[in-house]
């Protein structure tokens, strides 16, 4: 990390997040939350149909080897505003050590779950 600039790290994380967002946000049955029109943290929060977020996270982990966070994310008022208090949400976070291949695998997994 001493050889890589914070700007390069941010650019990599943002590119992965944008690629993921651009593909999953157009999938039928997938609801993505947040404003992606400006610079932001490399996080995409979504729901897949009416699937419980904990169930989605468990399937992503067990069947696809993808680690995500699920639930209320310590933000109950946000979930009240979004109408996701009962369902929660699934949060994908992208980091410097994530790859394009991992991002493509996450896109494919969300697509498969949305088609069920």
**In whole angstroms, what separates CA 18 from the centre of its chain?**
10
Sheet of 30-33: strand order equals 30-33, 43-48, 89-93, 69-71
Q: Is 74 a catalytic residue?
A: yes
Catalytic residue among 74, 86, 101, 116: 74
Query: Are 97 and 15 spatial neighbours (Cβ–Cβ below 8 Å)?
Result: no
Query: How far is Cα 43 from Cα 46, in angstroms, rounded to an integer?
Result: 10
- Catalytic residue set: 74
């Amino acid at each position: 990390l001493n050889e890589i600039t914070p700007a390069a790290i941010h650019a990599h994380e943002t590119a992965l997040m944008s690629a993921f967002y651009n593909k999953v946000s157009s999938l039928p049955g997938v609801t993505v939350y947040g404003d992606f029109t400006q610079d932001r943290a490399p996080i995409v929060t979504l729901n897949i149909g009416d699937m419980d977020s904990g169930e989605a996270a468990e399937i992503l982990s067990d069947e696809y080897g993808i680690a995500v966070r699920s639930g209320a994310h310590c933000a109950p008022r946000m979930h009240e505003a979004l109408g996701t208090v009962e369902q929660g949400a699934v949060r994908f976070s992208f980091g410097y050590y994530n790859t394009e291949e991992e991002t493509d695998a996450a896109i494919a997994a969300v697509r498969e779950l949305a088609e069920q």
